[in-house]
Amino acid sequence: MKMRPMLTLEDCKKISAAAEAEAKKNSWNVCIAILDDGGHLLHLVRMDGSTPANARIALEKGRTAAETRRSTANWQERVAKRVELLRMPGVTPVQGGLPIVLDGTCVGAVGISGVQSHEDEQIAAAGIKALG
Amino acid sequence: MSWTRAAFAICIAGLALGASAQQPQQPNPRDAVPDKMPNDIPYGMPITLERAQAAINAAVAESKKRGWKLNVAMVDSGANLVAFARMDGAQLGSIAIAEHKARAAAKFRRETKAFESGIQEGNLHYLLTLDDVIASRGGILIIDNGQISGAIGCSGGTGSQDEVVCKAGADAVMKR
């Protein structure tokens, strides 16, 4: 039988702690959302000083990356060339959401919001890297 | 006499009887006007992430100890999500419910159990028409020095299981 890999709460804590460390290192206050491959929330951390909007946006970036199996930066680039993609349902095309891919399978995503979009993505990448 | 005419006659007789036998109405308890505001707890500073995570960790530990799989959410004094954790194997439907319970506790400044009891025991069905209510126990306020700093919500088991875990989380961080 084919087994489905899943992120555990321990995995999420590892990712979240590494992302938070990356943000703290740069004195950034962000929200870190981790979702499963169905786009459902697994773990969320909103650092002191980040806003309610950051929580909503981090979640939506993460959801986009999880459900479409591609980074939100990729969506951002494609929307720049094809504006009609803005009408894609449930897509937040703003850099800062990265899918978590293990052996070619997407197991979830990380969404960050709070600083500049490329910095958000930097934090997300640092988090995923901690998964090993 | 046809059946319809007979039925009509009975109806009229019933109306006359009803009018003559009218009883004085029972006073409606909801017409009472209390002097004081209910649940008048001020909204204070938002809970810090550190304490929000401490509450979630305590709740998750309690749930794990009992072999339960729950979702735990923390909101701040603005009823906005601060931290969330889904335990391995917790059901998907409870992600939104956990957050909803925490949010409703903060927004209405009371445990969500109050809504459950109001509807079940108090017959206050109108509570279901209020905005963003969730009538299920497992949403508890975090109060610091008499002010609301946030709320915790748990979902995934029975209401009673959710509440036990929720209390463990709240007790871990509440300054008494």
CB B70 within 8 A of CB B85: no
d(CA A47, CA A49): 6
List CB contacts (< 8 A) between B53 and chain A.
45
Amino acid sitting at position A20: E
Which sequence spans correspond to the domains of chain A? 9-129
**The pLDDT value given to residue B23:** 72
pTM of the model: 0.89
Count interface pairs A-B at CB distance under 8 A: 42
Mean pLDDT confidence for B17-27 = 65
Mean pLDDT confidence for A38-56 = 98
Nearest to B48 among A38, A41, A48 (CB): A48
**The pLDDT value given to residue B21:** 54
Q: Is the pLDDT of residue B57 over 60?
A: yes
**The pLDDT value given to residue B11:** 47
**CATH entry, B49-173, from 3.30.470.30, 3.30.450.150, 3.20.20.70, 3.30.1200.10:** 3.30.450.150
CATH assignment, A9-129: 3.30.450.150
Residues B74-121 have pLDDT tens digits of 999 999 999 999 999 999 999 999 999 999 999 999 999 999 999 999
d(CA A27, CA A122): 14
Largest CA distance in chain A: 47
Sheet arrangement for strand A41-46: A97-102, A105-113, A31-36, A41-46, B81-86, B71-76, B147-155, B139-144
Q: Is the pLDDT of residue A66 over 60?
A: yes
CB contact under 8 A, A46 and B83: yes
List CB contacts (< 8 A) between A6 and chain B.
88
Q: Is the pLDDT of residue B20 over 70?
A: no
Which sequence spans correspond to the domains of chain B? 49-173
Q: Which residues contact B151 (CB under 8 A, 6 or more apart)?
A: B74, B75, B79, B102, B103, B105, B106, B139, B140, B141, B142
Residues B133-174 have pLDDT tens digits of 999 999 999 999 999 999 999 999 999 999 999 999 999 998
Mean pLDDT confidence for A48-75 = 98
d(CA A113, CA A119): 9
